[in-house]
Structure 1
């Protein structure tokens, strides 16, 4: 028995009681740090679950409307003595900075994306939907959505990520998609991609040099399908355009924004009287029409006053 246990434990741990105490204290400190970090992670997850902005415009201690994340952490600290003590005494790592929040969000994103990849690989078939969008900093991005049937035979539609684009050419978009698809579907699973859906732009649907053709060259089963959201939008547009009153209404609605945008003097009067810019309309996106209707309806009295002033 002595021979069996010989060398299994460090000699320092056997001879030095202080060494054993140090190990115990270290383990207690690790457990405490994990407990504190779990509370901070829960606060970040709460903001994401309820679609709340974690950071605010004014994050100073004197702010009357601080960021939601700090408010959640303070609330949890009022119920958790360990976290409260940490926030009061921490000098090196408090865990509530912007950098920590961003790093936690990146870690959560990695975990979610890995789960989506595992689900997609276990599925028999998968389809993708992609479209370009512009963020608040006017940077062009590609939205990638995956659609597949999971192990429980439920249809899943998952947003995968925003892909930054250097340019909006067919080669650039196709290269970005192929790079992500290579991660999602390894070489022996290329046959699983059976469809690709984009809008009706020529750069996406081009039969000879479009994105769909470049993707199909690599993934032979990836048939091109026009985006359902855009198809429904076009159907509604074509149907309503046959109604003269509806057509005239939206023509006049789009005319408001054009009327003010073409003259700096008119825009100045609009800013002084209404204090609100009118959103421009778009033929392929409903939200622009709805925003224009809402803005004109809410500020109709101010708009009348604005026209009288002019």
Structure 2
């Protein structure tokens, strides 16, 4: 049962990663729908429906057999999966930085669409195996927060 539950998560996690890589929002302003809803403002559920339409029989079977209140496709579960993906990606980036002999932290302040000033934090490091200097995004910080250094 645990193995089958993990298998059905694969399409959901891959969809979340794809949306992140392609800068596609998972949800719209209001997206409390289900896979069977015809109208959905978000992209997560329609992409999962596309997986089923494209022949993912194990995911389709899972959704047909699981109770409707236990599909684990809610926005809460989406957020939990996003947090898991974030943790894994950050660990991989930090492991690469630890291996590098040289690195730099970059910050750039900008105003978002709502007028809030944010600090974009990236890190660059020397990858000796590939002779490259990759730049990875780390996070956004509020530029209006006061930093206290001790």
| TM-score above 0.5 | yes
Question: Contact 2:109–2:117 at 8 Å: present in 1 too?
Answer: yes
Higher radius of gyration, 1 or 2: 1
The reply to whether residue 54 of structure 1 matches residue 26 of structure 2 is yes
The reply to whether residue 128 of structure 1 matches residue 100 of structure 2 is no
What secondary structure is seen at the aligned counterpart in 2 of 1:38? helix
In structure 2, the CA distance between the partners of 1:135 and 1:104, relative to structure 1 (3 Å rule), is farther
Unmatched runs of 5 consecutive residues or more in structure 2: none
Q: Deviations over 1:88-118 (max 9, x none)?
A: 3332421211111111111111111111111
Corresponding residue for residue 87 of structure 2: 110
- Which structure carries more relative contact order (alpha carbon 8 Å, separation 6+)? 2
Match of 1:85 among 61, 66, 72: 61
What secondary structure is seen at the aligned counterpart in 2 of 1:155? coil
Unmatched runs of 5 consecutive residues or more in structure 1: 1-28, 179-310
Q: Deviations over 1:162-186 (max 9, x none)?
A: 123553x5xx1x74xx9xxxxxxxx
Q: TM-score if structure 2 supplies the norm length?
A: 0.80
User: Which structure has the highest helix share of the two?
Assistant: 1
Question: Contact 2:109–2:143 at 8 Å: present in 1 too?
Answer: no
Q: TM-score if structure 1 supplies the norm length?
A: 0.42
Partners of 2:121 and 2:4 in 1: how far apart?
A: 39
Question: Contact 1:122–1:151 at 8 Å: present in 2 too?
Answer: no
In structure 2, the CA distance between the partners of 1:58 and 1:161, relative to structure 1 (3 Å rule), is closer
Corresponding residue for residue 43 of structure 2: 68
